[in-house]
Amino acid sequence: MPSVCLYFQVHQPYRLRRYSFFDVGHIHNYEDETENRRILDRVAQKCYLPANMLLLKLIEEQQGKFRIAFSLSGTVLDQIERGRPDVLESFQRLAATGCVEFLNETDSHSLVFLFSPREFKAQVLRHRERVRTLFDQDSRTFRHTELTYSNDLAIAVEKLGYAVILAEGTEKILGRRSPNLLYRPAGCAKLKLLLRNYRLSDDVAFRFSDRNWAEFPLTAAKYAHWLHRIRSEGSIVNLFMDYETFGEHQWEETGIFKFLSALPGEILRHPEFRFQTPAEAADGNRPAGEIDCPEFISWADEERDISAWLGNAMQQDAVHTLYKMESAIRRRKNEGLLKTWRMLQTSDHFYYMCTKWFSDGDVHRYFNPYESPYEAYINYMNILDDLSQSIKNSKGESR
């Protein structure tokens, strides 16, 4: 029986204040609290609250046949716990339906696996505990930051007890094979792998309101028809996208909520189709083969690699400077410094320093709050300079 696996990523980074060389040694609060609250309130009103209300209604209407998954980054959990408890409660109502799976990731939405196995494990376990506490679930599915993935990551995730991991269904690892099947990661004995169908996912996430797109306008009936053509035995159509697609990236005026409202019914109109969460899809299917991925991939840009975060000298200098602080941070046993250091690991800070242009340039400019990658780099390095001084001056007391 073919399945549709619908997963949404929910993430908001901590935006950093404009921090000059003259602030070093004087200002130790790096967060732009006003901007972070402004953006959170806007996205809550445009996306989180109306989309959650709609999903709850759809789950009730479909009597449990509509099933979905979320991963909420630790940084967005921090912000909604602190400033928007109504948003947190709306996610908890979804969790209470029994039709929503909450995934695990690195708590700081970081690329820490590439730099510190110890810190990677600490962040995953912290996020696992938060999901257990907030949503009363023991996560069985792992999703790494920006869908970055490799053989080594899969092996580490299996050791942490997960049953399934998500990745991008790029031709780099698939060749001519289909992304619409369950696979086994190379080097793993039990872990299963679900691959994002990036074409069908991006039809909604990026092309939905593009009037120059040959398929515009995209209706739920048309989209469901495309899915219904994927009917081979054991098919799992993995539709993974940012949750902010609904109402923020694609505004309500585009018809995105009407599309979402009609989609479950249109898909379930075909009697062979069903919705499953990632863990359910992994439980109900056998791997069709093994996927070998020796180098890191991601869901970013045309290259589907990690160059959006680590592709230039500025990004590499910034990330290596950050992780060189780990030993000193741990020796201080200062929870405030540790929390700040983890906040600075969020992948967005390095994304802002990206210098890629051409086909992907508009994406990087649109999401970048800085005038230039160089400005993002200087701002970030000034903050690291101050943090380094704070570490040296710390004697272990709370910051």
CA–CA separation, 63 and 59 (whole Å): 6
Which of 338, 320, 321, 319 is CA-nearest to residue 329?
338
Structure tokens at 394: 């710390």
Q: What number of residues does the chain have?
A: 399
Q: Which of 101, 105, 119, 146 is catalytic?
A: 146
Integer Cα distance of 260 and 241 in angstroms: 13
Using only C-alpha atoms, the chain has a radius of gyration, in whole angstroms, of: 21
- Contact at 8 Å (CB) between 375 and 19? no
What is the distance of C-alpha 249 from the center of its chain? 15
Dihedral of alpha carbons 373, 374, 377, 380, sign: negative
The 10 Å Cβ neighbour count of residue 25 is 12
Instruction: Give catalytic status of residue 146 as yes or no.
Output: yes
Assign 3-class secondary structure to 227-276. Answer: HHCCCCCCCEEEEEEEHHHECCCECHHHCHHHHHHHHHHHHHCCCCCEEC
| 70 vs 90: CA distance, rounded Å | 13
Query: Taking a C-beta distance cutoff of 8 angstroms, is the pair 266, 224 a contact?
Result: yes
Cis bond leading into 217, ω under 30°? yes
- Please name which of 33, 29, 27, 41 lies closest in space to residue 14, comparing C-alpha atoms: 33
Amino acid at 221: A
Q: Which residues are catalytic?
A: 146
